[in-house]
Amino acid sequence: MSLISFFKDAGEKLFGHKETEQAATQAAAAPDPAAAQAKVAELNKTAGDAIARYIATQNLTADNLAVQFDGATQTVTVSGQAADQPTREKIVLCCGNVEGVAKVNDELTVAQAASESRYYTVVKGDTLSKIAKEQYGNANDYMKIFEANKPMLSNPDRIYPGQQLRIPT
């Protein structure tokens, strides 16, 4: 159980995060607070559902998976039970590597405990080889990072600044 920070302006474009932020702002100043709160709740549910669908497209599953989004705080809360630690970490990364998400509240548990990976935030000019050299001392170990981040990464040459990656131990 942890709160992990992400760059909210980087990642998959799954929903109109600006719409969600605006709705939250309007709810505070709206003449009909109940209608405004309903709109915010609807947008938050739509965003949470979009993230859950994205997780499913990556062929990642967890028992009783629940994904909730709070546009006011730009936080995703994810819960359920993943089969193993790598699946848990990949689900968290799917939630956080979405444009408009600043934090992920990880409430996932795992059926088979294992050591946790480190996370690395990609910066401009990074390549998987460069990251592998920094993390493992050998640029040729980039495939370890690539494999650890599949299926979110489909090409080792396609990473972007702000993206978080799993760095297995």
pLDDT per residue as tens digits for the range 112-162: 888 999 999 999 999 999 999 999 999 999 999 999 999 999 999 999 999
State residue 29's pLDDT score: 57
42 and 60 housed in the same domain: yes
Question: Structure pTM?
Answer: 0.83
Residue with tokens 């730009």: 74
94 and 157 housed in the same domain: no
State residue 30's pLDDT score: 56
Number of domains in the chain: 2
Both tokens of 109, joined, read 């548990």
Which domain range does residue 154 map to?
Answer: 117-169
Tens-digit pLDDT profile for residues 47-102: 999 999 999 999 999 999 999 999 999 999 999 999 999 999 999 999 999 999 99
Q: Is 65 exposed, middle or buried (0-12, 13-18, 19+ CB in 10 A)?
A: middle
Mention every residue, 6+ apart, whose C-beta is less than 8 A from residue 80: 62, 63, 64, 65, 66, 108, 109
